[in-house]
Amino acid sequence: MEPDFAYHAQRMQLLFDTLKWMVYAQQIGVSLADLANRLELNEWEVQHLFQEYLAKDPIHFVKDVFSPALAHALPPSQLSIFDFPPDDKLENETTFIDVDFQLLDKDPSTIYFAIFPHFLGEVLIAASDQGICQITFQDSENGLLRLKKSYRTATLQEESTDLMIMTYLALMDCFSNKETHPVIPVAVKATPFQLAVWSELVEVQKGKLSTYGELAQKLGDPNASRAVGTAVGANPIAVLIPCHRVVHQSGKIGHFRWGTWRKQLLLAIER
């Protein structure tokens, strides 16, 4: 049974409008009172709204959004045997949400799709019987048009499946401090190289960053940065395949299919 999203949809739209305004208008020094006035809520309600969806204090979040070091990918620290982290710490580290990849060799017969509310903008989630095949932000890309271009022979049916709802709820929970998340089956059409890049992306831990050069080195070809960038940009599964965690070596946030401003917010949420 599909959850009732009416209550959350209104609150998430309010938060989305405010976050987008904050980044576009460069509200670096915005205060809690300013946010309360913008949202037409009292300050306690603003605190609750940010904690509910971002798991963040609003003012600390603003500082993270505009931090000069937001997109600085730090090199991995060199640990000796004397400061290697204990086993329990390694077990608690998470790569975000587990994704089980399947490479499709032909179009599914039927693909189901639906649009869901989200505090970073409405998302179109699409799935076949094999798994999730697309998650896109509607304000930046016509998700249905992309589906038609990617899966030309599939029948597209507007309907929420159990897998889509589970994926949506995981998408909402992935920014929280939950220690466990469901494994999401992802079944996509892609080249072997694209799938290799996307498989590396899901290994980048929440709160960590990588660069195109680092990904290329992991794939065994240090000169493949440009090809890696093309594969990252072709990612059809927003957020769950975290291409937003790939930045330039220079510390620039870089391109994002669904808007650089949204990538800036994603990095700040995970910071």
- How far, in Å, are 16, 183, 220 from residue 161 at the CA level? 25, 16, 39
The two tokens of residue 139 are 């304000």
Give the single-character DSSP code of 129: S
What is the rounded (10 degree) CA torsion for 123, 194, 207, 15? -10
The two tokens of residue 59 are 């003012």
The answer to whether residues 112 and 151 touch, using CB atoms and an 8 Å cutoff, is: no
Sign of CA dihedral 237, 238, 242, 247: positive
Q: What amino acid positions are annotated as catalytic residues? A: 243
The answer to whether residues 242 and 197 touch, using CB atoms and an 8 Å cutoff, is: no
The answer to whether residues 238 and 152 touch, using CB atoms and an 8 Å cutoff, is: no
